[in-house]
Structure 1
Amino acid sequence: MSHPDITVAMLNERGTGRLPGHLGIVITAVGDGQLTAELPVLPHLLAPNGYLHAGSVVTLADTASGYGCIVNLPEGAHNFTTIELKSNHLGTVREGTLTCTAKVEHKGRNTQVWDAVVKNKETGKTIALFRCTQMILYPK
């Protein structure tokens, strides 16, 4: 079940005062089974070596996958928690904007699996591939 009443603005507000908002992640599009987000590459996202910190990329992909899960929660579910994530880092950037598209691969009653691709917005080069599994939570 998709929740079309959840808007991009609502998702961006959800990140305010939390890690996604602090880092600068912006949700740009949401649809049934897919979500897109962006992250401007700023100095606080870089590792001490001057390159993009892997944790910044993982946070972008996990946020896109997690927010996608929220929009696609099954009927009766009230939330989720990430139970597994994996990333393959293929490149890096020092400036510009990252874009991430997360797509649902499995939308079950108890778990969802999302694949996300993080790219350099300016060049289209793939920076990382990501897979995330969420456990669906129900009220007790």
Structure 2
Amino acid sequence: MMDGNVAAVFAERQKGTLPGELEIEWAEVAAGRARGGFTVRQKHMAANGFMHAASVVALVDSACGYACVASLPDGASGFTTIEIKTNYLGTAREGERVTCEARLVHGGRMTQVWDAEARNETTGKVVAVFRCTQMVLWPR
């Protein structure tokens, strides 16, 4: 398990990957929680003029994944996602800020369950609620 807020570590690690390309910024990544977001730009949009659903999933799934790494039990070698579920309740337009908060619901030896909520900070409305299950990996 990682100690303290390790957001800077994950900001560096994501360079050149999808979360980096989407310009996701992290306020907090720590054991049991993560907070971050992005300002909606053209790269986040669908052809219909609204934010693409995959942009939201990239945000909440990254928050849960990064916090999962920060929350791994001692000796674990990593994790893999075994299930995700997203309910969309709203959207955002270009120039608006979307943030998320992720929290650990269950932190077992073999699995972790995470909940996250994405919010349009400009309107104050919830954009999506997300739940994922992570399988903890152990060295063989």
With the shorter chain as reference, the TM-score category is over 0.9
1:60 aligns with 2:59: yes
Normalising by structure 1, report the TM-score: 0.94
RMSD: 1.2
For residue 88 of structure 1, report the CA deviation from its aligned partner.
Answer: 0.3
Task: Return 5+ residue gaps in structure 1 as ranges.
Answer: none
Q: Deviations over 1:42-67 (max 9, x none)?
A: 01111111111001101100000000
**Matching residue's letter, 1:87:** T
Q: Deviations over 1:106-127 (max 9, x none)?
A: 0011110000000012232100
2 CA distance for matches of 1:126 and 1:6?
A: 25
Q: Is residue 131 from structure 1 mapped to residue 128 from structure 2 by the alignment?
A: no
Counterpart in the other structure of 1:12: 11
| CA distance, structure 1, for counterparts of residue 78 and residue 115 of structure 2 | 19
Query: Which ranges in structure 2 are unaligned for 5 or more consecutive residues?
Result: none
Distance 1:72 1:21 in 2: 22
- CA distance in 2 between counterparts of 1:64 and 1:89 reads 17
Query: How many residues matched?
Result: 139
Identity of aligned residues (%): 48
Equivalent AA in structure 1 for residue 28 of structure 2: A
SS at 1:24's partner residue? coil
1:41-52 → structure 2 map (5 Å cutoff): 41-52=40-51
Give the 4+ runs in structure 1 shifted more than 3 A: none
TM-score (norm 2): 0.94
Provide the C-alpha distance between the structure 2 equivalents of 1:37 and 1:81, rounded to a whole number of angstroms: 21
